[in-house]
Structure 1
């Protein structure tokens, strides 16, 4: 995906592995690539991965960072010109996540400074001082916008679980990379609002969409997000080193994982996509949910000692090998081979080795002593 003509990386590679030369370049793809190559460079002590991380970091700094108003643009054209300058909180979070990881790989304080500034932007611009929580989107000039959705499949609500989860993930990584009182306070606030507002302690699932005043607009259970949150929330707790908080949150994380274990898996051992409240079940799932399931079930096994979670992860891995990488390719497909759906792009705006690459590194780390 290296773009030798316009710099950075290509915006898309289709389902057959062919570059889509005119595809736009998204902040999500590029920040996730920066995180991945930075993490790979550290994990494998790889000069090749580090060079790709340098490429991603320099392109983001020169093209995605708004030099006049701050923050990260949402979308560029294939030449690197801004075509959507809005500031999604989700994208700012992934930039923090990526630059913190790049700092860990390089030790260069300049990149940590960028991560800190982006965290200040989120805290100052996106936090709702009246009701609490982070709003979804603002204009290039930090004004309100009409349509706040990340994608067409999302509800147009000003507060979402998905954005809060990935702000939490970003703050965790920044606090691990360079902990101080500011990163601790920001991570604590993000974690507390997530626990308070987004975890349904009765149904053991996540609430997904809210109005500004926290009126719940959720219409489905998202199994991939439930299992992803079960381990990302725990990672945040671990980063804060708060034993009292850990004792309180451990059960919440295990309940999310247990619900996904019992209700979320399909007959092939894979993780389903979602179940709407009116009873429609999408049992097939997508690549990212399978990757998060691997880590989430292993994390639950480590927290509980319950071998059912480890068995679920092993069955899920067999399903992935057969259905998502069974063609021998070096990147997972979007859908399982037996899902009966036309495959979407192999890499692009929403897909790169972030979910699955992270899962492989997490499992290597977590299972190396077993």
Structure 2
């Protein structure tokens, strides 16, 4: 029996899941439509406007909660989905805007990204499985946009960014958007039964397997249009929240878990997935955990494994927990249970905010709350999934598994 399967620990995870969902519920819907950015105490920071990816994450979270039977979550998911169907959707050119300002005007200068559209796929697939009105039609539309604009079938990879009217394609290619695209494609496959989405996800994963082998488990994140790594990208902006310089420790952990989900979803597809998942996990732990005089994961390292940004992000711990649980379930090895227990205690000691709610999104290198990269507590996606994934099988993906009654 793994740590998360023990009755007392299952109860602990379930209680934390419910506590998290209390955070910001009454302030979540922005007057302009979609989700408000939540501040440190769960109030709406209306001046930040509405971001598509935040809205999508909260549609996903409350669709999951609706499937667990939580009162009020289905209605919250529906209201947030209305934002995706309405003001966040570009009815002129197609696709979804990145952001609305505080008055509800779209930010055209931000263009359209794979990252945002991957989350639209995730949100609409989860809402469809949860039976939220309008979700199936929105999922079909999101799938069409993604395949037309972001999926490069010749390369088996994702394009990253266009201008708002789709006339300009940025030469930059990125692993962050691709990672969330893999998560979303697996979810769409489970929502629709269309196995082609899993095969697309497997093609992107093949790139990650190759990169992990070539760079000793430190994944390059940034590439040119030919997918040549840009190892010095943003060296002058190392703490960028989406495109930081160097290797992002948390993404190694996130990919570790996703590769195991893919392996379970497509048995026999690639016998390199488990070894790569192990490598990514071991490299992230070796480079990132407790390496600078205080517990916690550093945000990024250089290509030799030296810390660059030492602040601790809550999402990294959440992904570490999910990866440890996945490897424990896949291998049966007690090592991963050890790590899970240690990181859950770290979360309890430093991240879980019993006073104001949710988890602190960022800590400094001495584990004091900070806000240089992530002010406030804008969403619940990573923390909520950390309370659910350890209680689920590796496949199907989280929403379908809960709908099928697999949640412990």
The one of the two structures with greater contact order (alpha-carbon pairs below 8 A, sep at least 6) is 2
**1:99 matched to 2:124:** yes
| Match among 110, 122, 144 for residue 168 of structure 2 | 144
Higher mean C-alpha deviation, range 295-304 or range 54-63: 295-304
How far has the Cα of 1:128 moved from its partner?
4.4
Asked if 1 retains the 8 angstrom alpha-carbon contact of 2:63 and 2:74, the reply is: yes
Cα pair 2:34 2:88 within 8 Å, conserved: no
- Unpaired runs of 5+ residues, structure 2, are 1-26, 233-245, 395-405
Gaps of 5+ in 1: 149-156
The correspondence for 2:256, drawn from 205, 208, 230, is 230
Judge conservation of contact 2:260–2:277 (CA < 8 Å) in 1: yes
Pairwise CA distance, 1:340: 4.6
Give the equivalent residue in structure 2 for 1:154: none
Give 1:34's match in structure 2, choosing from 49, 59, 69. Answer: 59
Q: 1:339 corresponds to which residue?
A: 367
**2:206 equivalent to 1:192:** yes
Aligned-partner Cα distance in 1 for 2:312–2:329:
25
Q: Tell me the TM-score normalized by structure 1.
A: 0.85
Aligned residues: 351
Deviations 1:260-289 (Å, cap 9, x if unpaired)?
233321155422211113634434420110
Could you tell me which residue of structure 1 aligns to residue 44 of structure 2?
A: 19
Partner-residue secondary structure (3-state), 2:79: helix
Cα distance change, pair 113–186 in 1 and its aligned pair in 2 (3 A): farther
Matched, 1:163 2:177: yes
Per the alignment, residue 278 of structure 2 pairs with 254
Q: CA deviation at 1:201?
A: 4.7
- TM-score normalised to structure 2 length: 0.78
Q: Deviations for 1:26-74, whole angstroms, at most 9, x for unmatched residues?
A: 11110111111001111x2123111110111111101112112221111
Deviations 1:81-120 (A, max 9, x none): 2123621111111000110000110076x52343233233
User: For residues 163 and 106 of structure 1, what CA distance do their matches in structure 2 show?
Assistant: 27
Q: 1:17 to 1:248 in 2, by over 3 A?
A: closer
The secondary structure found in structure 2 opposite 1:205 is coil
> Please, what is the CA RMSD of the aligned residues?
2.7
Change (3 A) 1:313 1:269: farther
